[in-house]
């Protein structure tokens, strides 16, 4: 088979044994790799209603047909599991040499099940006790990289923080607490390497397409990422009053200038780097403190800065570096702490720091990772914390389905508000690119409607395809027709006679499969919503002043979205859609015959 190995490696940590399991070519063609294949495997491997932190819960590293080719930004993997933060699907993407090395083991995915009896590391198939427990992901990487490429958790993952990350090459599969799943399996690190290249159908065409894509990746469409990085969003969002500030109480931050890319770049930028196999290089590294340096993305900057009322770049960069070292998702960490800060303001949490307290923020990050004091409560995420705090604080816990909301004010970007509400992973700017629609002349960003629903859905489909190919979303602007051009790549790599239409259908299938998993795990229409704050309070600041999003308007958009997807009005999947998913029953199902084992 070209582009694939046609199998996954299933390793049972309880037994210390692995096996190769065949993946039918029909499934690969219907799901490709990354998020698509990972979702299909999650359906297959996760027992229904499994506790995400139980040994039986699988953790899946899913590669893709493009991994290992010279196509720019293709060195990516998806990490897929049932999220301990949301109870629904979590599928984080990460870019690194880990993807290339993992696929060279001769597999399209790695599935970890079971749990180790003691803190361990899995190095090239050998499970052994680890001395790296309590070390940072970087320290784990340094200690193990002589064996191969490393994915590791930090202290937060070891302690079951529900928003802990899995780190590789300094990048993170960040959202939804995948690190806690690995931590519950008592696996500090997974090290992979191999010798098996993946053949491609038409090497000449792949080389030509790779050269062409690299050239286009250096054009205008990606210039923002190269010149300023995602941090450029901060000043733009602040200007239009869409920058979540002080736990979404405001949409403009008066100290925003100090944190903008326009200020940080000339004053602090020390380097620009890139993920493995990427020609764009969007990672901007800034200096702070006593010759320290850290990479920072907009999401970390907003969450640890304006959202917590902190405008000192030194403090925000230090906090971002601390999250990396502890293995914490910066968006959920910032969101949960900002929520605690508002609780402090209202007198519900007297021990929490107040908005603007940078030292308090840094101390609390450590307390969360170690589950000390108030940190133990906040390690559960803002939704569970709100349930325990009471006082109706759930109304302003900044989360959807338990996942903290990224740096886009939903009332100011109402097409994206819909994307957040219906997101299978929760509030998710990576799976719905609907902000692109809000930042256009196609809708009124302050006034979502049924048209927003149709447009939002298209961005979700496109994201499902790029996440299954996998290519970096920052390439999106270089494609005139994502489906047709992706089909050309897939044809050259796999030799399949696919066209754009087939890939569009595949994208819709991936979205439906993610939803189907949630339905299986107990999703109800009430889960597709936004916290009460967003549906009852109007914005006050700048150009977004007066913007409000009502229950009725959101419901109308959700209804339009569901119908446009061909689902029921409430969002359930009809039989025809379910049949198209080619799902196999979970191994926990008594009628399940078990995985088909490669002889």
Partner 1 sequence: MHAGIVLCGGRSSRMGRAKAWLPWQGRPMVAHVVERLSEVVDEVVVVSSEQLDLPPLPARVVRDREPELGPLAGIREGLAHVKGELAYVTATDAPFLTPEFVKTMLSYGKAAAPEVDGIVQPLAAVYPRSALACASSLLESDRRRPLALLEAQDYRRVDAAELTGCEDAVRGFNTPEEYLAAVRTSGDDSPVVLELLGRAQLAAGRREIETPVGTLAEVLAAAPPELELVQEGRVARHHLVSIDGRSFLRDLRVPIGPGEHVIVLDASVGG
Which of ligand SF4, partner 1, none does 275 bind, CB closer than 5 to 8 A by kind? ligand SF4
C-alpha–C-alpha distance, residues 37 and 16, integer Å: 25
Q: Does 233 bind partner 1 (CB under 8 A)?
A: yes
**Coil, strand or helix at 17:** strand
Are 493 and 206 a contacting pair, CB within 8 Å? yes
- Going from the C-alpha of 521 to that of each of 83, 189, 285, 570, the distances in angstroms are 11, 28, 40, 16
Q: Does 429 bind partner 1 (CB under 8 A)?
A: yes
C-alpha–C-alpha distance, residues 61 and 93, integer Å: 10
Which of partner 1, ligand SF4, none does 255 bind, CB closer than 5 to 8 A by kind? none
Nearer to ligand SF4 (CB atom), residue 96 or residue 136? 96
Which of partner 1, ligand SF4, none does 227 bind, CB closer than 5 to 8 A by kind? partner 1
Cβ at position 427, least distance to ligand SF4 in Å: 20
Which of partner 1, ligand SF4, none does 538 bind, CB closer than 5 to 8 A by kind? none
Residue range at the interface with ligand SF4 (CB under 6 A); choices 160-168, 280-288, 457-465, 527-535: 280-288
Applying CB under 6 A, which of residues 95, 198, 399, 560 lies at the interface with ligand SF4? 95
Using alpha carbons only, give the angle 251, 252, 253 rounded to the nearest 5 degrees: 130
Q: Does 186 bind partner 1 (CB under 8 A)?
A: no
Which of ligand SF4, partner 1, none does 73 bind, CB closer than 5 to 8 A by kind? ligand SF4
Q: Say which DSSP state 47 is in.
A: P
The two tokens of residue 9 are: 């490696």
Near ligand SF4 in 260-279, by CB under 6 A: 274-275, 278
Q: Does 279 bind partner 1 (CB under 8 A)?
A: no
Q: Does 98 bind ligand SF4 (CB under 6 A)?
A: no
Q: Does 239 bind partner 1 (CB under 8 A)?
A: yes
Instruction: List all residues 6 or more positions away from 202 whose beta carbon is below 8 Å from its beta carbon.
Output: 491, 492, 493, 495
- Going from the C-alpha of 561 to that of each of 89, 217, 493, the distances in angstroms are 20, 32, 34
What does the chain come to in residues?
A: 599
The two tokens of residue 72 are: 């720019």
C-alpha–C-alpha distance, residues 189 and 168, integer Å: 10
Instruction: List all residues 6 or more positions away from 505 whose beta carbon is below 8 Å from its beta carbon.
Output: none
Near ligand SF4 in 282-311, by CB under 6 A: 282-283
Q: Does 477 bind partner 1 (CB under 8 A)?
A: yes
Which of ligand SF4, partner 1, none does 468 bind, CB closer than 5 to 8 A by kind? none
Q: Does 247 bind ligand SF4 (CB under 6 A)?
A: no
Q: Does 4 bind ligand SF4 (CB under 6 A)?
A: no
The two tokens of residue 486 are: 């992706």
Nearer to partner 1 (CB atom), residue 29 or residue 476? 476
Nearer to ligand SF4 (CB atom), residue 274 or residue 545? 274
Using alpha carbons only, give the angle 7, 9, 12 rounded to the nearest 5 degrees: 145
Rounded to 5 degrees, φ, ψ at 149 are: -95, 145
Cβ at position 73, least distance to ligand SF4 in Å: 4
Are 315 and 361 a contacting pair, CB within 8 Å? yes
Q: Does 222 bind partner 1 (CB under 8 A)?
A: yes
Applying CB under 6 A, which of residues 66, 341, 472, 557 lies at the interface with ligand SF4? 472
Return the number of other C-beta atoms located less than 10 Å from residue 365's C-beta: 26
Applying CB under 6 A, which of residues 9, 40, 98, 225 lies at the interface with ligand SF4? 225
Applying CB under 6 A, which of residues 9, 302, 474, 496 lies at the interface with ligand SF4? 474
Closest listed residue to residue 93, CA positions, set 34, 45, 39:
34
Near partner 1 in 483-542, by CB under 8 A: 542
Closest listed residue to residue 249, CA positions, set 329, 336, 320, 309:
309
Question: Tokens 């949630």, residue?
Answer: 518
Applying CB under 8 A, which of residues 178, 191, 213, 240 lies at the interface with partner 1? 240
Are 82 and 184 a contacting pair, CB within 8 Å? no
Q: E strands within 169-256?
A: 171-173, 187-192
C-alpha–C-alpha distance, residues 127 and 118, integer Å: 11
Which of partner 1, ligand SF4, none does 281 bind, CB closer than 5 to 8 A by kind? ligand SF4
Q: Say which DSSP state 55 is in.
A: T
Which of ligand SF4, partner 1, none does 69 bind, CB closer than 5 to 8 A by kind? none
Q: What mask, x for binding partner 1 by CB under 8 A, covers residues 332 to 371?
A: ----------------------------------------
Nearer to ligand SF4 (CB atom), residue 375 or residue 433? 433
Q: Does 262 bind partner 1 (CB under 8 A)?
A: yes
Applying CB under 8 A, which of residues 103, 295, 445, 509 lies at the interface with partner 1? 445
Return the number of other C-beta atoms located less than 10 Å from residue 451's C-beta: 15
Q: Does 440 bind partner 1 (CB under 8 A)?
A: yes
Q: Which residues bind partner 1 (CB under 8 A)?
A: 220-225, 227-228, 230, 232-233, 235-237, 239-241, 261-262, 265, 408, 429-430, 433, 435-436, 439-441, 444-447, 449, 473-474, 476-477, 542-547
């Amino acid at each position: 088979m070209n582009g694939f190995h046609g199998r996954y490696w299933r390793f049972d940590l309880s037994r210390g044994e692995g096996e190769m399991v065949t993946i039918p070519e029909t499934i690969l063609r219907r799901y490709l790799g990354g998020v698509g294949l990972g979702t299909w495997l999650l359906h297959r491997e996760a027992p229904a209603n499994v506790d995400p932190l139980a040994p039986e819960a699988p953790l899946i590293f899913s590669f893709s047909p493009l991994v290992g080719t010279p196509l720019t930004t293709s060195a990516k993997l998806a990490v897929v599991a049932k999220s301990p933060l949301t109870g629904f699907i979590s599928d984080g993407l990460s870019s690194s040499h880990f993807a290339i090395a993992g696929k060279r083991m001769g597999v399209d995915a790695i599935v970890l099940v079971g749990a180790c009896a003691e803190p361990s590391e899995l190095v090239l198939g050998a499970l052994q006790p680890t001395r790296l427990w309590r070390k940072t992901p970087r320290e784990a990487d340094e200690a193990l990289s002589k064996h191969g490429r490393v994915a590791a958790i930090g202290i937060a993952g070891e302690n079951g923080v529900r928003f802990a990350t899995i780190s590789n090459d300094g990048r993170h599969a960040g959202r939804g607490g995948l690190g806690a799943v690995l931590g519950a399996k008592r696996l500090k690190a997974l090290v992979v390497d191999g010798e098996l290249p993946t053949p491609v159908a038409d090497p000449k065409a792949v080389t030509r397409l790779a050269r062409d894509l690299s050239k286009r990746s250096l054009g205008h469409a990606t210039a923002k990422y190269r010149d300023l990085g995602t941090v450029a969003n901060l000043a733009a969002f602040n200007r239009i009053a869409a920058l979540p500030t002080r736990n979404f109480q405001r949409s403009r931050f008066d100290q925003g200038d100090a944190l903008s890319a326009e200020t940080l770049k000339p004053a602090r930028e020390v380097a620009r780097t890139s993920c493995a196999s990427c020609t764009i290089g969007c990672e901007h590294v800034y200096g702070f403190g006593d010759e320290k340096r850290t990479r920072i993305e907009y999401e970390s900057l907003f969450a640890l800065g304006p959202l917590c009322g902190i405008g000192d770049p030194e403090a925000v960069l230090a906090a971002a570096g601390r999250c990396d070292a502890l293995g914490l998702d910066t968006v959920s960490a910032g969101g949960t702490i900002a929520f605690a800060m508002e609780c402090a303001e209202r007198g519900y949490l007297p021990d929490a720091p107040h908005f603007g307290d940078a030292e308090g923020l840094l101390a609390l990050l450590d307390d969360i990772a170690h589950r000390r004091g108030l940190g133990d409560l906040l390690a559960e995420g803002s939704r569970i914390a709100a349930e325990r705090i009471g006082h109706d604080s759930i109304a302003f816990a900044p989360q959807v389905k338990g996942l903290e909301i990224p740096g886009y004010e939903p009332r100011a970007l109402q097409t994206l508000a819909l994307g957040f509400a219906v997101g299978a992973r929760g509030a998710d700017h990576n799976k719905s690119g609907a902000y692109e629609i809000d930042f256009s002349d196609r809708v009124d960003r302050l006034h979502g409607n049924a048209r927003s629903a149709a447009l939002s859905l298209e961005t979700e489909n496109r994201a499902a395809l790029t996440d299954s190919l996998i290519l970096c979303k920052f390439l999106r602007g270089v494609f005139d027709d994502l489906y047709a051009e992706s089909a050309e790549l897939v044809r050259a790599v796999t030799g399949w006679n696919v066209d754009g239409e087939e890939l569009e259908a595949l994208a819709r299938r991936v979205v439906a499969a993610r939803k189907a998993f949630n339905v299986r795990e107990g999703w109800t229409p009430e889960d597709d919503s936004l916290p009460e704050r967003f549906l009852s309070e109007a914005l006050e600041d700048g150009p977004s002043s007066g913007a409000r999003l009502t229950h009725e308007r959101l419901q109308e958009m959700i209804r339009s979205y569901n119908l446009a997807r061909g689902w029921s009005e409430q969002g359930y999947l009809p039989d025809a859609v379910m049949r198209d998913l080619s799902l196999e029953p979970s191994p926990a199902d008594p009628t399940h015959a078990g995985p088909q084992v490669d002889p």
